[in-house]
Structure 1
Amino acid sequence: MSSSDTSVRPSTAVLTAREGPSDQELLAARLVPLRRPGRWVSALVLLVLLAMLVHSVLTNPRFQWSVVADYFLDGAILRGLALTLWLTAAVMATGYLLGIGVAAMRLSRNPVLVSLSFGFVWLLRSVPPLVQLLFWYELASLYPQLSLGIPFGREFVTVRTAHLFSGVLAAYVGLSLDVAAFSSEIVRGGLLSVDQGQTEAAQALGLGRAKIFRRIVLPQAMPAIVPASGNLLIGMLKATSIVSVIAVQDLLYSAQLIYNQNFLIVPLLLVATLWYVLLTTLLSVGQFFVERRFARGSRRRGGGRGFWDLLRGNVPLLGGSLRNGLVGLS
């Protein structure tokens, strides 16, 4: 055996011994998360910008936070807040009842009902809510009186509209019809999201239509209906502020009446803004728990929507970069 062969064999043995870790070593190895410096940088930049914004808002004397505190629980503000809450609840309840009926018409096999419901949704979604409020508020200029009777014949009931449509009634009717148009599409979309095979399978088992809808279709449609309905509710709470245009003394109009007297415009607008932020936050939290209740059994990986998803959806300033950065920091 030559000396050259002797020198090769030890190096081959060393390479064989160092081929790689065994399967047991690989299974026992600790996983190291992937380094993402971009998350750290974006999170720090956004945190600095957020801190600068908060510092500017809190230290700027022109915001007059002492005045905001004085008027936050003012009697006129609270009465306007009560009207805002009542109007939101009444409009959502009435609008959803009408919307369910319109959705049923859209899903029926009657071409007349389908055409009428489609025309209703098309018209109401095409006209801005403010224009609808002004139309109902000025209805007396178009129809001085409303009557019920036989077309081109005798009238049985006649009502004068001059004092019928007050600002509150005009706001209630206009916003209710607007909610009805949008909620009908929400309900219809949720029902159509359920596979038709579910209904056919239930019919094959001999279940009735009412029981199929209550036990099979509706539970599967609710996860699609609830999020959009929650967003519609929050949007309607804020949209009630447009009723101030027709002199309905809601939360915003109450603040306007006060600052028209003392000229403290910014502090009174901040009072109304803080109340809207507080109410929408409470509704967002409630929506989160309602969604989690109806999403049982159909959650994706990670347990469904969590706190960060809710926070990111309602505080756009944070965005996805800050969320990812904070997760990386933790």
Structure 2
Amino acid sequence: MRATRHAHPAGTRRFRASPLAMALLCTTAFAQHAPSGVRADGSVTTPAAAIPYSAYASPQARALFLQMIAEGSKAPPLSAPIAQSRDFYDRLNSARAARMEKLYPVTTHRETMNGVSTDVVLPAQGIAARNRHRVLVNLHGGAFLWGARSGALVESIPIASLGRIKVISVDYRQGPEHVFPAASEDVEAVYRALLKQYPAKNIGIYGCSAGGVLTGEAVARIITKELPVPGAIGTFCGSVSELAGDSTYIAPMLNGAPSSTGPLKLADLPYFKGASASDPLVFPANSPALLAKFPPTLLITGTRDFTMSAVLHSQALLAAAGVDAELHVWDGMWHSFFSDPEMPESREAYAVMVSFFDRRLGH
């Protein structure tokens, strides 16, 4: 909170009130003038309203926002057959990856590491000299249900090309065929393989959405296994805290949908069947002692992202635990907004990611 000084004109009387008296005065005034939609528990009911799109967002973002809403309306629900959902998102992400490769040239190949399949993405112009002994690990998004291959490329291509660094995307096990901690085990296996080639301080891990959550889970597992922690991590549009807070209710409305009846819970995702939200290996936010061992962390979200509150809360907890937690929020941006490479905001996000890992790895 920022304190503000107020000037007092000559001749006016000044007085000091105790914090308790001021709180009582404010509460009384609010009670007298509060809108009828405010309830005793602090919940608010609001009438329908027209909310303009952000004046701070780019024209390209405005156009893509409308396109994103149209595409989202066609997405299968979580209850749809898994093959249908995977097919839908693979088509969407394949088209994005094709557009990205025209802007950010790379080469890709498959590689198995400690029994886990990965996609290796290399900059077409070659790895920069300063990055020859550095590597990034990408953990794709997709609700722990979809996103393998094409979704991983969407998250890896611009970073590999712009950063001129090797990016390895882990094709981790997902639901409904597998349950927690299968994905964390796969990330650990790949990480152990990389530790034979790179010092831990030169390895970065990042992911978006489910991949952001998995990044936190994987680091928690690495710490509990007493492995050296990576040099830096990125948790984007999902982090170390469970989904909750204002954005879970407000973001749907800002994206043209009715307000949700509550945040998405673990029980809604087949991958977490039988897991507990209080387990620090699921949500590391449950353990301040565990968070204190986290490496420097980059957090990214947007004001129309339903995970924004959880990301803000994660950053606050990490900072309180003594972690160097760097937060970037883009106004008007939705969940995983940088999956669309044409927007200026996406280019800004890529630059932030590349700069963060360039500054943090090796220190």
Same fold (TM over 0.5): no
Q: TM-score range by the shorter chain?
A: under 0.3
Q: TM-score when scaled to structure 2?
A: 0.20
Which has the larger Rg? 1
Higher helix share: 1
Relative contact order higher in (CA < 8 Å, ≥ 6 apart): 1
Greater fraction of residues in strand: 2
- With the length of structure 1 as denominator, give the TM-score of the two structures: 0.22
